[in-house]
Amino acid sequence: GRPGAGRATGSACGSNLLAVLIPCHRVLRGDGSLGGYAWGVDRKEALLAREKRK
């Protein structure tokens, strides 16, 4: 990726009001960990687990 792009992505996802249409919960940190989520990391983890089952 591009240096500094992660910060821009985080800012865009943090202000995302259309979480249903723009799936920011899929954004992970560079090391593969979950990182933050506007509605909490527990919900992010649940959404990812739900998608994995499908």
Catalytic residues: 24
pTM of the model: 0.70
Residue 46 half-sphere exposure toward CB, CA atoms < 13 A: 5
- In this prediction, residues 35-52 reach a mean pLDDT of 90
pLDDT at 48: 93
DSSP the chain: --TTHHHHHHHHHHT-S-TTTS-GGG---TTS-----TT-HHHHHHHHHHHHH-
pLDDT at 42: 95
9-32 confidence digits (pLDDT tens) = 878 877 777 776 788 888 888 899
